[in-house]
């Protein structure tokens, strides 16, 4: 269940309450007249099944409450109520499968913003991966994958395409491209420094590297794994099962490929650099394609579910 809190102008309170009462999957409706001070209005509270939340939010926004009032939604860790159980049973589909589009858009907006923290994480991840490729250390590569924050902007691009949100798409593209550009430039400098200290060498980069040579040798599996990871990552975001994102992060070679390209470039190993760039582009393309198609499939699925529910109610 999710907890919904709405501040509504007094003249629209009845409309908001009526909408909540008519929405299948709601419970525990409470109205506190005149409780809100900024903005002024009434406070309306209720709990709603996750699978019914998206439709209810759309209805509340159509009343203009996101402009003249406020709409807040949060997860409930525990709700002991027979009414809540009935609401979840009446709502269409399963809560774990539901997509709350406003929540997804808000989450990807935050994760796809080019901030100092985002740049720091992707740069540190790329530098860790640089150590991993030179030392042929798979543990460092996995660690770098886990640290990298690049799935946020990729999810933002997918969401923007499905929701037709050009601003989100632009913000995500800027975060993705600028983030990788800065991290790779810094990693080139880091490679020069490590070489000067005698910690990196051209011989290490040219060695067989059985644990990490796949990074600059893209093949069909590079794209296949990226597609599977894109599906898993999107499902993780939309179902609020964020734990799966760690598995997604360590199954694609975006950050390691960027790191290998940067180190190879610093040693004039342009063939390796190009192979790593191909690996990076294949992974990015696979994730975006799979994520977008997954969101479109979920959108279609829930449209069908709502239509069936409406027919049963009629």
What pLDDT digit, counting tens, does each position of 248-264 carry? 666 678 999 999 999 99
What pLDDT sits at residue 245? 56
What pLDDT sits at residue 45? 95
Q: Are 127 and 186 in contact (CB under 8 A)?
A: yes
**Which residues of the chain register pLDDT less than 50?**
none
Q: Are 182 and 120 in contact (CB under 8 A)?
A: no
What pLDDT sits at residue 192? 96
What pLDDT sits at residue 312? 62
What pLDDT sits at residue 97? 65
| β partners of residue 44 | 6, 31
Residue 238 structure tokens: 């939309």
What pLDDT sits at residue 78? 83
What pLDDT sits at residue 310? 61
What pLDDT sits at residue 241? 57
What pLDDT sits at residue 240? 58
Render the burial of 288-307: b for 16+ CB within 10 Å, e for the rest: bbbbbbbbeebeeebeebbe
Question: DSSP 3-state assignment of 149?
Answer: coil
């Amino acid at each position: 269940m999710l907890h919904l809190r709405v501040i509504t102008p007094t003249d629209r309170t009845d409309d908001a309450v009526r909408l909540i009462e008519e929405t299948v999957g709601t419970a525990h409706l409470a109205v506190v007249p005149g409780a809100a001070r900024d903005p002024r209005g009434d406070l309306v509270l209720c709990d709603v099944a996750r699978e019914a939340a998206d439709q209810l939010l759309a209805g509340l926004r159509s009343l203009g409450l996101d402009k003249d009032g406020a709409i807040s939604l949060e997860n409930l860790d525990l709700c002991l109520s027979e009414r809540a159980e009935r609401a979840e049973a009446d709502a269409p589909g399963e809560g774990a499968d539901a997509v709350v589009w406003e929540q997804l858009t808000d989450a990807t907006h935050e994760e796809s913003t080019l901030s100092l923290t985002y740049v720091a994480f992707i740069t540190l991840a790329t530098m860790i991966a640089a150590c991993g490729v030179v030392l042929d250390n798979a543990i460092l590569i996995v660690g770098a994958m886990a640290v990298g924050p690049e799935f946020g902007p990729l999810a933002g691009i997918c969401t923007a395409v499905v929701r037709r949100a050009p601003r989100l798409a632009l913000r995500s593209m800027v975060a993705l491209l600028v983030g990788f550009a800065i991290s790779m430039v810094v990693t080139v400098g880091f490679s020069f420094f490590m070489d000067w200290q005698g910690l990196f060498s051209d011989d290490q980069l040219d060695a067989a590297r059985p644990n990490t040579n796949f990074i600059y040798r893209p093949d069909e599996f590079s794209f296949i794994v990226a597609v599977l990871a894109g599906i898993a990552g999107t499902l993780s975001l939309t179902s609020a099962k964020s734990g799966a994102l760690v598995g997604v992060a360590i199954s694609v070679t975006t950050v390691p490929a960027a790191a290998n390209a940067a180190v190879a470039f610093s040693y004039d190993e342009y063939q390796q650099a190009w192979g790593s760039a191909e690996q990076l582009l294949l992974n990015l393309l696979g994730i975006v394609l799979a994520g977008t198609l997954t969101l479109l499939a979920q959108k279609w699925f829930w449209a069908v579910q709502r239509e069936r529910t409406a027919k049963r109610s009629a």
